[in-house]
Amino acid sequence: DDPHARARELQERREVSLAEVQEHYYAAPPQIERGWREHLLATDGRAYLDMVNNVAVLGHGHPGFADAVATQLRRFNSNSRFHYRAVVEFAEKLTATLPAPLDQVFLVNSGSEAVDLALRIAMAATGRRDVWAVGEAYHGWTYASDAVSTSIADNPNALDSRPDWVHVLDTPNPYRGKHRDGDAAAYAPEAVTRIDALAAAGTLPAGFVAEPVYGNAGGMALPEGYLAAVYGAIRRHGGLAIADEVQVGYGRLGHWFWGFEQQGVVPDVVAVAKAMGNGHPLGAVITSAAVAERYRTQGYFFSSAGGSPVSSVVGTAVLDAIRTERLQENAREVGDHLHARLRALGEKHEVIGAVHGFGLYCGVELVTDRTTRAPATALTGRLCDRLLELGVVMQPTGDGQNILKVKPPLVLTRESADFFVDALDHALTTGV
Ligand code: PMP
């Protein structure tokens, strides 16, 4: 009765029945039995610190959350067409987190659906179909959300297989894009010039979509003023500004609830998911009444399980727990500590080129050379494997797959943050 043999046997069964293109973490992953807060317990009895989980924001196995969902399942669940208290209460709580005029909610089931709907809303509201996106972005797997996904890590053909309605701005990456550090201010005027030129040639934008903090590129800040400039240009031509908050929104950044606050802008359409459901499939699009009303040109909107009674209770339970358990504050306090420790580690290990991000979203970017910033891709992969041996679940992100994506549940304690940094230090000191 060897738990490792059973885990391998389960892995073999997985390979038989699940299409192989759905990769999962690690070549020989531990079989997870259950989770608790930021910890995972495997069937062989080992515990792991979960430093990548941007879905289970309340922490694994949250009792209050589980009770709220179980109670609602016994009481009533159905599609979202019924007149029911939970859906109204959730929509009110959600819009209360957003500035005016963002007060109209559409409920769906995932981030891909939310981005897809946001794009359709922009197309419906403007009567146009051309959309601007940025490079090195991931927005989802549905037809429209995939069309604006430009990251070559997720799809090596991304840059030459976009549909003709997608226009891609240069990757505004201030660490390794074409303009670096102090020169990163050049991205915004260049983007505006391209948007203006396409408009002058007769192609007016339906909208522009981007993560307000560059999650897929390692959780880094966009250049200061970038969104203000690009949103301004898009709006001058009558298009809508769409913020993909699926990964960076909902308190993870600690200092702000929404990523767009970091850039000092207010979008026209917000897409959110992941954290919002704490692992339950839940996503939303929030926009203004004027924009939402224009969707009528497409008929009506309906999603069977989007905004179901259970999904609405989930949404309310998550927002309530974030507030009563001070999880955004925890993300700020533990996050600031984590960033300080990671930056100190960067002074010790040459391979750490930069530490990006805010709160409990950090990107530790690994390079083979600090001057050229050549990505340490192979080392990053080996480091993630070594961290697993040391008891930490970690994965790479970015087009170079050379950035550790540090985005743990928002209940992360200072001790767990230290455990992660110490494991990273140990792995880098002893070599991988
Ligand atoms: N947008 C962003 C920024 C994401 O990170 C993701 C998921 N990785 C999505 C959209 C798609 O969300 P989902 O997987 O829930 O469809």
**Does one domain contain both 260 and 346?**
no
In this prediction, residues 386-399 reach a mean pLDDT of 96
Phi, psi of 420 (to 5 degrees): -65, -50
Q: Is the CB of 109 under 6 A from ligand 1?
A: no
- Are 335 and 392 members of one domain? yes
Looking at residue 39, what is its pLDDT? 98
- Split into its structural domains, the chain has a count of 2
Of 291, 324, 357, the position where a domain reaches its end is 324
pTM passes above 0.95: yes
Q: Residue 20's pLDDT band (boundaries 50, 70, 90)?
A: confident
Cis peptide before 101 (omega within 30 of 0): yes
The total of other beta-carbon atoms located within 10 Å of residue 42's CB is 17
pLDDT tens string 309-359 = 999 999 999 999 999 999 999 999 999 999 999 999 999 999 999 999 999
Domain housing 313: 63-324
Q: Which atom of ligand 1 approaches the CA of 248 most closely?
A: 3
The pLDDT tens digits for 245-294 are 999 999 999 999 999 999 999 999 999 999 999 999 999 999 999 999 99
Report d(CA 215, CA 210) in Å as an integer. 10
Same domain, 259 and 192: yes
Domain end residue (candidates: 324, 350, 375): 324
Q: What is the CATH number of the domain that holds 16?
A: 3.90.1150.10
430 burial (CB, 10 Å; 0-12 / 13-18 / 19+) is: exposed
Expressed in angstroms and rounded, the spacing between residue 201 Cα and the centre of ligand 1 is: 33
* Atom 1 of ligand 1, nearest CA residue: 139
- End residue of a domain, out of 266, 301, 324: 324
pLDDT digit string, tens, across residues 34-90: 999 999 999 999 999 999 999 999 999 999 999 999 999 999 999 888 899 999 999
Residue of minimum CA distance from atom 13 in ligand 1: 111
DSSP 315: H
Q: Are 160 and 249 found together in one domain?
A: yes
Are the CB atoms for 270 and 243 separated by under 8 Å? yes
Q: Which letter does DSSP use for residue 56 in this model?
A: -
Scan for tokens 């209360």, then name that residue.
96
- Which amino acid makes up residue 171? T
Share of the chain above pLDDT 70, in %: 100
| pLDDT at position 28 | 82
8 & 118 share domain:
no
Residues 85 and 170 in one domain: yes
One domain for residues 397 and 281: no
Q: DSSP readout, 76-141?
A: ----TTS--HHHHHHHHHHHHTS-TT--EEEEESSHHHHHHHHHHHHHHHHT--EEEEESS----S
Q: C-alpha distances in angstroms, 273 versus 20, 96, 226, 281, 390?
A: 25, 17, 24, 8, 31
Q: Are residues 279 and 414 in the same domain?
A: no
User: Is residue 400 located within the same domain as residue 258?
Assistant: no
Q: What is the mean pLDDT of residues 361-375?
A: 97
Instruction: Note whether 262 and 331 are same-domain residues.
Output: no
Residues 53 and 71 in one domain: no
Q: Is the CB of 249 under 6 A from ligand 1?
A: no
Do 176 and 264 lie in a common domain?
yes
Q: Is the pLDDT of residue 18 over 80?
A: yes
Would the CB of 278 count as within 6 Å of ligand 1? no
CATH value at residue 160: 3.40.640.10
